[in-house]
Structure 1
């Protein structure tokens, strides 16, 4: 369901009776964030309709307006455009003048308002982050209290430095801690234990029941907490690079259907992304994200992926699932490790960010090249680098059971949907099996509109490096690739490109240097 909210800068009481401006947005959209900030700075009262959780409604809105991207900004029933058009209208005060001169009327056209009538526009709550693994004999209040204790325990670096018993090469987060040491810490540091060892032992047991302490495999629960050893999940939330990011605790129950799990994770990660996205929509505060309670809950929820079943998913379901999981793992990994700073770091990074999905490890590279690109070699593989990608084997070996998940036929529009954390990457978006076609179309249109330049007079076309690295995914020849790109462009730009291709020699193609600078505050 969409959520609706009103915001204003210096609006008068009369203005606030009925907003004349409406903004249709989605969570995590940098252009939406920029548009809202521009309106607030200008003191223009507006109504926001966040359709991030109502992709079917958003698809209908796009059909009615003919505009594939968000934000979509309306004044008294008239579509003004997106963030760029808004900035132009605000720069010469023409929007402010039109707002003041227009008599009160609905901000949205009637056809679009009608789409919202049957929907609950109250704020949508995030999916439950406790219930999937909340023990039957534990209240949410007790869990929240234990959650705080576990977080304080995991944050005590001096404690982990003294008591973590890792073997050579194991990180502190991976290393088990003796139950006696945990009880000692609770006696000394936890007020609810009151310095009483019996109460501390009882707390230790409840922490284990809640999976906020993870017993070492093979340990005996009946022997008592002091005789065993544990891992502290929050301390293991930063595993050694190359270890799965969601294996800090073992998911204790059967998982929900894969699409349901992915949807819950998508809602959490887009809420985090939106929360820490700067007002101008250009940077993300990943450090702040990593310290936020919602991020810890996201990481715990991601553990459910360990037990999902991918069997029986349709092509569209697999595509939506893995696009969303890829984008989530990139945001997750950037918050935990920071972004790579060199070419060699990047090559290692995308192959080392991993989730345990259904009992198998999937890196970001596995998801992109093995699944979404239909089991094709990476552009960084040896044969691809020498211009002979057809000689290379697939990303997954034939004997690898993960190869059965490869998307066939692959859809090159995925390259406009995958987030890599760099400034030149597409923004994070929401994808569902039901609206996958519309979502990929919108991603392609938004990316190409901003990154493809057509100079008809000089017969020159400027493209993103993505279209060079992955050119073979779009078409074999350059002319065919350009024709494919034309499908994603606005009408006037598409027409110019088609005319260049229809007569004379191929246009000169230049590729814009890729900005690998991280979109980090």
Structure 2
């Protein structure tokens, strides 16, 4: 039986397919207009349902004056098309088995009939809208232009459609996150009922990674509904030296109420038992912190992300950008924005570096290998002639969808990926300890958004732009990409807000990206392209990386099925959020698998002979076994011994009925 959630996902898939068709077709049946009927239908859907703040599509097209000349016909050229990566957003086709391809012919016929039926309605709506506009004396919209008209896109519309190009001062994704730090509050409570008391004073606690007493103090203060500032001396080593200088020791935890040192968990418990703690809290309500009170972490404190040796190649590339002046050009009947010719680059390098043309070509290849620019179609590394190349930050996908390149390509030399991964892992560990519940199932997004640790994390991700990913071993690659995926999901939620509909989830998994090693990676590309060894996402016909895609070299040699119990995309039905280290990655993945399976991931009712499994085991069943029985046997390895024995006995002696739990896409707050 198909559920309501499955039906919503199916409708979203149909809308996504028709929107793609509309972007590459034209309809000239109505008074010479270029508006496509399917485009109108898709635009009506997106205007009603899709939030504008998450519409991060291809870069805005710039139309030059030369395009309106009589000797050029705009219809003879195709606009630049970005490659569409297969994205899995939880879409499940109702009543389909583990082999979705067998029902595709019937689905195609149904889709064709659906489009025809809706097309008639959309055509009628189009004519009615145009008629009303003519009666009102209004001018048609940009998409209603007749052939040959110059297309002029108002700047206000560009800003509205591509919010990443402007500072989004009004959009606040945190307004979608209703509950803050207290993860034990009932969902039915309103935000006003969980507000903490306003306090003029400041509570500061000094902590350290892996400290059990620090965890106890966090829990104690949260139970008391008290706001506090946490200073992790592993993240801010200068504070460690400060403690040692003042007290002769950097032992933690230490709790300050303004400028008064309270102590640790024992001292807080004693104060609460004697009633002194409540009196102290009441005093803090009206007394502001003195100048001698410990300060919260300052912006950029102990931050090494901006440091490094200046890259001499970057200085040459900076001069290239000024001299070449990239512009829109045509190549193989398609238009590409912000490009330069290979011959122009060779001319510049020959003059600037006093090279012969052959030497200039070799030097240009060196620049391309270091990810400063690349061919618009990835046909070659660098050649002289009429080939088109584009600087990394000018790529439309990088400009509009990548969130770790806000200031262009960095001018410092790329650091080793192992070093960057270690620093990112340290911050991930600190963020998870400070702002995630003990069981890893509840995340305090509001506090993460305002923390200096997260801001530093985002700054460090900028160093990934031109790194060499080939230096990573299997274990290092697993830990790095799992941790990066989980933090990218948090970054996406804080930037866009949590996705609530199928179309929003499709954008969430496919359009929020980081530039890593010169190429954009989405959440889906990391999950299915790298960690699953470039396997097709569920209910998709293509792999994430094409055969010529250079990102395929980063993929794991073999898919690792246990990553499904470690990747967290901000949902309640997903696994617990943890930080993983390369030295113990296999052991940690097995622990995560046990935790996931034993806490509702697979429930066996021996009397009813029914097994209820998390839908993750269904979506990615191909990673666990060839059939349903093999999948359950694989999952049984991580169950409690008694439950595992019951499951194996049922599989051997009876016909076990397997059901799959509805997936809860709600935010894990």
Instruction: Give TM-score, length-normalised by structure 2.
Output: 0.42
**Alignment check: 8 A CA contact 1:241 1:353 kept:** no
| Alignment of 1:244 onto 2:402 | yes
Q: Do the aligned residues in 2 keep the contact of 1:355 with 1:362 (CA within 8 Å)?
A: yes
Counterpart position of 2:611 = 461
From 474, 499, 506, give the equivalent of 1:347.
506
Which residue in the other structure is 1:325 paired with? 484
Contact 2:568 2:575 in 1 (8 A): yes
The question of 1:304 aligning with 2:477 is answered no
> Bigger CA drift: 307-316 or 442-451?
307-316
- Whether the 8 Å CA contact 2:612–2:660 is kept in 1: the answer is yes
The count of residues paired between Structure 1 and Structure 2 equals 306
Q: CA RMSD in A?
A: 3.8
* Among candidates 644, 647, 651, match of residue 497 of structure 1: 647
Classify 1:372/1:282 alpha carbon distance in 2 versus 1 (closer, same or farther; 3 Å). closer
Name the CA shift for 1:34/1:480 in 2 (closer, same or farther; >3 Å).
farther
Matches within 5 A, 1:9-28: none
User: Is 1:434 matched up with 2:583?
Assistant: yes
- Distance of 1:468 and 1:281 partners within structure 2: 23
SS of residue matched to 2:406: coil
Shift in Å, 1:346: 0.3
Return the alpha-carbon distance in structure 2 between the equivalents of residues 427 and 316 of structure 1: 20
**Aligned residue number for residue 272 of structure 1:** 431
Pair 1:133-2:310 in alignment: no
CA separation of 1:277/1:34 partners in 2, compared to 1, >3 Å: closer, same or farther? farther
1:483 maps to 633
Note the residue ranges of structure 2 that are not aligned, 5 or more in a row: 1-208, 225-231, 236-299, 311-372, 374-396
Secondary structure of 1:414's match?
helix
> Residue 459 of structure 2 aligns to a residue in which SS?
helix
From 534, 542, 556, the counterpart of 1:375: 534
Counterpart Cα distance in 2 of 1:363 and 1:315: 20
Separation in 2, partners of 1:318, 1:470: 21
Report 1:109-148 matches (<5 A). Answer: 130-134=303-307
Take 1:39 and 1:290, find their aligned partners in 2: how far apart are those partners? 20
CA contact (8 A) 1:350 1:363 kept: yes
Residues 1:333 and 1:508: Cα distance change in structure 2 (over 3 Å): same
Change (3 A) 1:251 1:428: farther
Mark the runs of 5 or more structure 1 residues left unpaired by the alignment: 1-24, 43-49, 54-126, 138-216, 218-238, 382-391
Q: Secondary structure at the match of 1:462?
A: strand
3-state DSSP of counterpart to 1:435: helix
Q: Aligned partners of 1:503 and 1:418: how far apart in 2? A: 35
Q: Deviations over 1:470-516 (max 9, x none)?
A: 111111111111100101111111111111112122x1111111110
Larger radius of gyration: 2
Q: Give the 3 Å change call, closer, same or farther, for CA 358–321 of structure 1 in structure 2.
A: same
Higher RCO (CA < 8 A, seq sep 6+): 2
Q: Do the aligned partners of residues 414 and 128 (structure 1) sit closer, same or farther apart at CA in structure 2, a change above 3 Å counting?
A: farther
The whole-number CA distance in structure 1 between the counterparts of 2:439 and 2:616 is 24
Change (3 A) 1:319 1:280: closer
Relative to structure 1, is the Cα distance of residues 444 and 38 closer, same or farther in structure 2, using a 3 angstrom cutoff?
farther
d(CA) in 2 for partners of 1:253 and 1:344?
Answer: 38
Pair 312,128 (structure 1): closer, same or farther in 2 beyond 3 Å: farther
Asked if the contact 2:432/2:579 (under 8 Å) is kept, the reply is no
Partner-residue secondary structure (3-state), 2:649: helix
Q: Normalised by the size of structure 1, how large is the TM-score?
A: 0.53
